[in-house]
Amino acid sequence: MGAMMYTKVANLVFEYGLDCGNVPHSLAVTGPATPNQIAEEVTAKYGVRPLLISYERDKDCTLLHEQDTLLTVSGLQVNLGSLEKSFIGIHTESLLADLHYELAGVLFHCMAMVRLYSAARRDLCVFMEVVQRDDPISPTTDFSLDWRGSPEVYFEFDAVVSKAKRVLDQWRLVLWELFNKNKKAKDPPRRFWKTLQTLASSMPEQLKKGLLEAWQSFGSDVLEYRENVQHFGKSKGLSSCRLKRIGSTWGLTVLIPDDSKVQSDRDYKYDKKRDALSFCWNVTSALVLLTGEIISAAWDSGSQLKLANPLSK
Amino acid sequence: MAQVTTEKLIFERGLYIDQAKGTIHADHSRGVLEQSQEVFDRYGARLVLIVRHVDLVTFDTLDVLLRPDGNRLADGFGLPVQMFQPYPFLLADASYELLGAAYHCRMMAVRYAEICEALQSQIPKTGEAVPIKTHHEIYFRFDAIMTKARKLLDRLAWDIWRFFVNRPGRPDNFEQMLDDRDIADRVPSDLLDCLRPAWNELGLQIKHYRDNVHHLPRSGACSFSGSVEADAHAICQLTMPIPDNPEAKCERLFEYQSGKDALTYSWEALAYLADIGDTIANSIASRFLSHGCDDVHEGR
C-alpha cells in the first residue's frame, strides 16, 4: 500500500498546550529553524518542554498513525508507527505483543490529550483577548477559570491511566518470564511492586534502577488514579482550569487531584496544581523508554519468541 | 452573528460527505436529511456524526452525535428543576460517563472517516475487502467506550439505589443492584421490567467487553485486522471487527462470524444506554413529583 513520509511540520506543541510561531497567541521565536532548534530555544526561554510534533498530511500519505510524533522526556521521537517497528519480530501471541498493544494505547491517548490542550488553549486565548478588551481590570496573571471544555481532557486522562495500568500489568508478566529463577513459583505476585522486589536480585542493574524509579515517581499514582477512575469518584472533580501567564500569552493547566489515593471527589485537593497533561506525558515517556529496555532484555535473553501469554492458551 | 457551518457528515463504516467537496456522490447542496437518506439508500449506512464549525470561540463541541433513529444523542439525563437543589448529585455521575462515552464515540467516527479518506486512492475499486493492520487506535477508542459504558451502568445503579432503596450497603454495580433483596419491593415494577432485559440484552455484554479490556491479554488485537473495501467510485468503507462472544474471555475462542463492527456496536450501545438512563430519570422524576422524597443521601 502506498505511503509517503511526513516532512512538513504543522505544529510543535509544548507543555500547557503552548505552541510557537508568528501567529497570534503563540510564543515568539527568533526565526526559521528545525523543530529541535525551536524546541531548545522555547525551553530555554520559557521553561516549557516540547511534547508533540504534528506534521501536515499530504493527500497521498496513508500513514495516519505517523502524522503525530510524541517527544519523550529524553528527546526520543515516537509515534504509533515507530512503536510498531520496535516490536517487529515479536510473536503476535506473545506477552510482548500484548505489551505493544497497551503501550500504543497510552501513546495514542496521550497524543490526543496534547491536541486537546493545544486547541483549547488557543480558544481560551481568543476568549481572554475579548475579555481584556472589554474589561480593563481583567486578570493578567495566573488565574482559575470555569471551563466546561475540561471533561474531554479528563476523558483522555482516564484512558491514559487505564492503559498505563495495563502496561504495568504486562511488564509484571514479561519481567517474571525473563527473570524469575524460582521455577516452583509459576505465577508472578499480583502486585507490580512485589514483583519488582521478588525479581530485584536477578534483573540487570540499569533496568532495575529504571523500574524502581518509575514506580516511585509515578507507578503507584497511576494505579491509584486508575482505581479512582474505574471504581470510585469521577476524575472530573473540578470542572475548571487555570491559565498560566507564559511569555506574552497564556498556557493551559487542567488539574488532577494532589493525592491519587483520595477516593471521593468531594475530598479532592488541588493545592499542588498538578497538571493532567504533564503527568500523562511523564508517564508515557517513561513507559516508552523502559519498555524499550525490557524489549532489549528479552532479545538479549533470546526468549522473546517463546513468551507466549499463559492466559491466552 | 456567529456563522455555524456543517463541514462533514460521517456515516457508519466511515463513509462521509465532505460538505466542501461532496465526496460520496451525494448532492451536498441538499439538506442533511436528504443527503443522509441518499447515503442510506445507496450504502445502507446510517448517519452517525455531523461535524460542524463556528467562526468564534466555543468551549463545547458543536459536533452532533446522532442516535440510530436519527435524533440527537442527549448530553446527559434530565430531572425536574425542583430536584436540582436538594439532589444535585442524582444522575450527575451517570451524565458525566455518558458524555465520556459519547466523546470517544465521536472521536472513533472521525477516525473511521479519516482512514477511509486516506486509503481512498490506494484500495482497488473492486468491492473486495482488503485487510489493514495498522489502526489499533479504533480499538483504543472501543476500549475507552466500553469502560465508560460499564461505569455508566454502575452509576445508574447507584442512583436507583440512592433514590428508591436508600439504605447502607449500596451495591457496587448494576448486576448486584438487580439481585438485591429490597429491589423488587422498592423499585417500581415497570422500571424493573425495563432494567432486567436491558441488562441481559446489553449490559452483560458490555461488562464482558470491558472486563476483557481490563483483565485479559490483548495479543489478539494485534493480530486481527480490520478491512477496507472500495466500490467503483473509490468510495471506501471500513470494518473493524469485535468478537461476537466476549464472554469467551479468550482470544482463541473469540468468533467474528456476524461481522460485528466496533463503531456500529459502540454507537448503538450508547443510544441504548441513553434510553435506559432516560427511563430511570423519568421513573425517579415521576416518583418525586407524586410522592416527594426528602431523605436521599449521596454517600455509599
Q: What is the ipTM, given to two decimal places? A: 0.92
Which pLDDT score is estimated for B218?
67
Residue A63 CA: distances (Å) to CA of A1, A289, B125, B225? 10, 23, 20, 16
Average pLDDT of the residues in B119-135: 86
Which pLDDT score is estimated for B23?
54
| Burial environment of residue A196 by CB neighbours within 10 A (0 to 12, 13 to 18, 19 or more) | buried
Of residues A287 and B223, which shows the higher confidence score? A287
Average pLDDT of the residues in A69-88: 86
Inform me whether the C-beta atom of residue A200 falls under 8 Å from chain B C-beta atoms: no
Give CA–CA dist B102/B96, Å, rounded: 10
Average pLDDT of the residues in B128-144: 89
Which pLDDT score is estimated for A235?
47
Which pLDDT score is estimated for B84?
74
From B103, which residue of chain A is nearest by alpha-carbon distance?
A152
Query: Residues of chain A with pLDDT > 90: what percent?
Result: 39
Contact A312 B252 (CB under 8 A): yes
Find where cell 472530573 sits.
Answer: A236
In this complex, how many residue pairs, one in chain A and one in chain B, have their CB atoms less than 8 Å apart? 121
Of the listed ranges A8-12, A14-18, B23-27, B169-173, the one predicted with least confidence: B23-27
Average pLDDT of the residues in B60-64: 82
Q: Select from A108, A231, A313 the Cβ nearest to the Cβ of B137.
A: A108
Of residues B81 and B295, which shows the higher confidence score? B81
Cβ atoms of B194 and B177 closer than 8 Å: no
Which pLDDT score is estimated for A241?
81
Which pLDDT score is estimated for A4?
54
**Confidence band of A311 (pLDDT split at 50, 70, 90):** very low
Find where cell 442533511 sits.
Answer: B32
Which one of B112, B130, B140, B250 makes the best mutation probe of the A interface by having the most chain A beta carbons within 10 Å? B140
**Confidence band of A193 (pLDDT split at 50, 70, 90):** very high
CA B156 to chain centre: 16
Of residues B293 and B174, which shows the higher confidence score? B174
Which pLDDT score is estimated for A313?
39
* Tens digit of each residue's pLDDT (9 = 90 or more) over A257-275: 887 777 777 777 888 888 9
To the nearest whole number, what is the mean pLDDT of chain A? 84
Q: Which of residues 249-308 of A touch B (CB under 8 A)?
A: none
Query: Residues of chain B with pLDDT > 90: what percent?
Result: 57
Of the listed ranges A70-74, B233-237, B242-246, B257-261, the one predicted with least confidence: A70-74
Average pLDDT of the residues in B110-125: 90
Which pLDDT score is estimated for A1?
44
* Best CA proximity match to B138, nearest among B225, B206, B26: B225
Q: Which residues of B touch A (CB under 8 A)?
A: 57-61, 93, 96-97, 99-100, 103-104, 107, 114-115, 118-119, 121-122, 134-137, 139-140, 143-144, 147-148, 151, 172, 214, 216-223, 250-252
Average pLDDT of the residues in B258-277: 96
Which pLDDT score is estimated for A296?
87
Contact B222 A100 (CB under 8 A): yes
Average pLDDT of the residues in A179-195: 88
> Is the predicted pLDDT of residue B299 greater than 70, yes or no?
no
Chain B: give the shortest CA distance to residue A312, in Å. Answer: 6
Give CA–CA dist B96/A235, Å, rounded: 10
Average pLDDT of the residues in A250-257: 90
Cβ atoms of A308 and B218 closer than 8 Å: no
Of residues B216 and A253, which shows the higher confidence score? A253
To the nearest whole number, what is the mean pLDDT of chain B? 87
Average pLDDT of the residues in A33-39: 84
Of the listed ranges A126-130, A218-222, B180-184, B229-233, the one predicted with least confidence: A126-130
Give CA–CA dist A189/A197, Å, rounded: 10
Which one of A87, A121, A311 makes the best mutation probe of the B interface by having the most chain B beta carbons within 10 Å? A311
Beta bridge partners of B241: B261
